[in-house]
Structure 1
């Protein structure tokens, strides 16, 4: 490979110390793995690099790490290995500075290759940071790697014109220890970690955004909510700290650090997102599904920050689509068999259907939202009311909303509205609208969601459960009764509904998200005296979707969770769970603390915390970034059905 010297930068800046010897083994390895020429930019003048050497060792060495992947060790002369977009791809000016992981003992190369391929596809330059490793025992706060990262950003900014990049579009991405380094730089870019070498060191080292891939060491000890003190989380601010996106898998021990950091970023009002995928352990990039999916929200997040163009986001999504297609096409045959086997029942109506003459006003309003009208099933036998309900005499009301959407309160005759898809695939979801247990947002968190599910082939059941809260009872007491009975009815009459009794999930919003969680955590508790044979059917959901769930936490408990969120006996007692919330939703901490509960219980769970969107948006576009939850949830539902999670993608490189 031909080395392209960084001579033009030498002529136009105060940068000194261009290394005269041949490129190092690590730099050669990166060029060979990527099969492209690179600009190699030494970080320090020769005399500065020499002063850091305590003994005569090679500049660096290349070998296999413990995991069998190529890695660079013994880095004493740090540099950046800068790759421009490949021929035929127009450069956009955006630069990705990538810090490989390796426990601060080595630098793993496969992720660097993956990120460079992605950057090239979208027209971004990619600079692989070869920072000094292994870590020194007397280097608290990893100041030596931090110095290298600071210097790297400053050099990119100083030489931006010569390199053909935008000095204000530098994004640092790091994996594992590199993720720790990226966040260390993000919040400590102004800290004095070395003596100024030249005019370059007067330039800001603040990256314009950071993306942290399963970042390590953010908390000490690892499985705690105690931040690494050297990160100075008490000084987070939108002015100091650049926009931050993190991704991790639920089973990774470093999930604790990502969750704690997200809590602190949110409190400091720093634009931030966290995307947690169900399984996959630690490590990987575009060779692991569904972890690879993180680049979709990352591209949208970076576009929102003005660092990606719409065209770059489009190309990024197309890049991911190609990767996913390579993997998913192997399962098309299995999917078709599954659909053939599940759609085999006659679409008959249930004998519990309520005649239109007995519909309540709320039922009429909801039924009018679909043509033809859905079947409406009474949750309880007889007149549809429970004799033990202290508010059985309530008459339904429909309070007016400013947006004109249907809202129902004073429910004493709970029902289920059955939305059948044109092409059912056997799956079913019982929907619990939100409303603080005082009313039901039954349209934008009910019927609109039912249509979205039907579009995916899923039979939906909109539950009109009892509200408001009953005096003298827990706020969720009668709602939990209705929810458990609704699940039993759906499962007990699966044949009539043309569904698989082993594929019945729940989906709830806000208070409805709390209710959905309660159906998981109280699946072995009978919340009411049995009424008939239906109550012998199991009431636990096969999967659960919690959208901006409320009331999951309590300040006066040891683990921070509401006492109603009772741990189940084993991970096998939990269904797979999906959660989504906006960072600026006041209930965002509920989802983050609940994820840690699921992490401790070793439950497959996926969580997406979007930068903004507020509370109560349903699937409306007014939710901003949060509106993207439907895409990730649809992918999660498809993965659940097809068994495509936690898979290493063969031949992806």
Structure 2
């Protein structure tokens, strides 16, 4: 048993460690909106993905901006746009279990949400021993040279950096996992299916490491780029409104699954009004066809973008515990 004083001292020590070990010169997490104070403590440590700047920057990159969408002062629901410096916000547990999670929030590939599918999930997992890295990835409709592969480049680089720095965070480099929500679920599934695709030129020793996560959890994911099941907003941002069949197939993770795709955990609400549940079913079928282990949970109610906050008290609210229990069967928690 741990008394409250001991727990508080441990939490303060962990916070101090985060500040003291932050690499100098790293870009801060997305800033606050105006004078509004965040409802929860904010991460203090970040890791920039690319030394010397991200490759293939457009000529006229707009300034990064954050919008607060919540009208409730007790809850944040921020989104960040125009990400010129892709980076990870780090959440350290008080007692690391050696496993890590790269978290890719959604946002339809037009922005990246910060709180509901990022910081809240990271904090929950950190309380259970995971070291978490929330990824703020570049957006494909802003003129980057990598085009539709720009977010995947960031995800691959992020996994490799976590492995390279495993010793700094008391991590097992074999137990690097990935999860994503909505469009971030597409990115997570794309990473699982194309982790070894050559989407950028290597810049240092980290790029010699594998970008394959041990497990992947695309949650209520955008998946196919083919109509009628494609999410039109994400499709337009990623490959363009008038993309042809070849481009659709190249960026539909269900069309790119291989035998070495990592085991996947899937969940979706059948009443999702934005991303049809068929997106998850297509990916499940592709995984099964290649013999890739997959666990699938379909919930009657939940809508879209539920994360944890919007399904409290509903059956879908059990998905995080279901994920952890499944992860144990794949040696994530040992």
Same fold (TM over 0.5): yes
Deviations 1:503-530 (A, max 9, x none): 0011100010000111111122121111
Match of 2:168 in 1: 496
Correspondent of 2:250 among 556, 560, 563: 563
Match of 1:607 in 2: 296
Match of 2:14 in 1: none
SS of 1:496's partner is helix
Q: Distance in 1 between matches of 2:70 and 2:249?
A: 32
Are the aligned partners of 2:43 and 2:89 in contact in 1 as well (CA < 8 Å)? no
Write the mapping of 1:20-31 to structure 2, written as runs, cut at 5 A.
Answer: none
SS of 2:217's partner is strand
Deviations 1:585-622 (A, max 9, x none): 13310001111111111111001010011111211144
Are the aligned partners of 2:183 and 2:222 in contact in 1 as well (CA < 8 Å)? yes
Correspondent of 1:420 among 72, 77, 92: 92
CA separation of 1:503/1:392 partners in 2, compared to 1, >3 Å: closer, same or farther?
A: farther
Write the mapping of 1:366-381 to structure 2, written as runs, cut at 5 A.
Answer: 371=41, 373-381=43-51
Q: Distance in 1 between matches of 2:96 and 2:292?
A: 28
Deviations 1:387-428 (A, max 9, x none): 412166321111231454121111111111111111111000
Match of 1:527 in 2: 199
SS of 2:110's partner is coil
Whichever of the two has the greater Rg, that structure is 1
CA separation of 1:392/1:462 partners in 2, compared to 1, >3 Å: closer, same or farther?
A: farther
Shift, 1:532, TM fit: 1.5
Match of 1:54 in 2: none
Give ranges in structure 1 of 5+ residues lacking alignment. Answer: 1-346, 645-653
Are the aligned partners of 1:354 and 1:376 in contact in 2 as well (CA < 8 Å)? no
1:576 aligns with 2:263: yes
Write the mapping of 1:148-187 to structure 2, written as runs, cut at 5 A.
Answer: none
1:590 aligns with 2:259: no
Correspondent of 2:58 among 390, 399, 403: 390
Match of 1:453 in 2: 125
Shift, 1:386, TM fit: 2.2
1:632 aligns with 2:322: yes
Correspondent of 2:224 among 536, 545, 552: 552
SS of 2:113's partner is coil
SS of 1:450's partner is helix
1:641 aligns with 2:331: yes
Q: Distance in 2 between matches of 1:615 and 1:488?
A: 30
Count residues in correspondence: 289
Shift, 1:364, TM fit: 5.8
1:429 aligns with 2:101: yes
Are the aligned partners of 2:220 and 2:269 in contact in 1 as well (CA < 8 Å)? yes
Match of 2:308 in 1: 619
Q: Distance in 1 between matches of 2:49 and 2:167?
A: 17
CA separation of 1:514/1:633 partners in 2, compared to 1, >3 Å: closer, same or farther?
A: same
CA RMSD of aligned residues (A): 3.0
CA separation of 1:374/1:352 partners in 2, compared to 1, >3 Å: closer, same or farther?
A: closer
Q: Identify which of structures 1 and 2 has the higher relative contact order when contacts are C-alpha pairs closer than 8 Å and 6+ apart.
A: 2
Deviations 1:419-473 (A, max 9, x none): 1111111000000000011101111100000011112211100111113622487
Match of 2:235 in 1: none
Match of 1:3 in 2: none
Match of 2:158 in 1: 486
SS of 1:550's partner is coil
Q: Distance in 2 between matches of 1:472 and 1:491?
A: 26
Shift, 1:372, TM fit: 7.4
Q: Distance in 2 between matches of 1:424 and 1:538?
A: 22
Shift, 1:534, TM fit: 1.5
1:463 aligns with 2:135: yes
Deviations 1:199-246 (A, max 9, x none): xxxxxxxxxxxxxxxxxxxxxxxxxxxxxxxxxxxxxxxxxxxxxxxx
Give ranges in structure 2 of 5+ residues lacking alignment. Answer: 1-16, 229-243
Match of 1:401 in 2: 69
Q: Which deviates more, 545-554 or 496-505?
A: 545-554
CA separation of 1:531/1:597 partners in 2, compared to 1, >3 Å: closer, same or farther?
A: same
CA separation of 1:604/1:406 partners in 2, compared to 1, >3 Å: closer, same or farther?
A: same
Deviations 1:36-88 (A, max 9, x none): xxxxxxxxxxxxxxxxxxxxxxxxxxxxxxxxxxxxxxxxxxxxxxxxxxxxx
SS of 1:614's partner is coil
Are the aligned partners of 2:86 and 2:135 in contact in 1 as well (CA < 8 Å)? yes
SS of 1:599's partner is helix
Q: Which deviates more, 488-497 or 547-556?
A: 547-556
Q: Distance in 1 between matches of 2:186 and 2:43?
A: 29
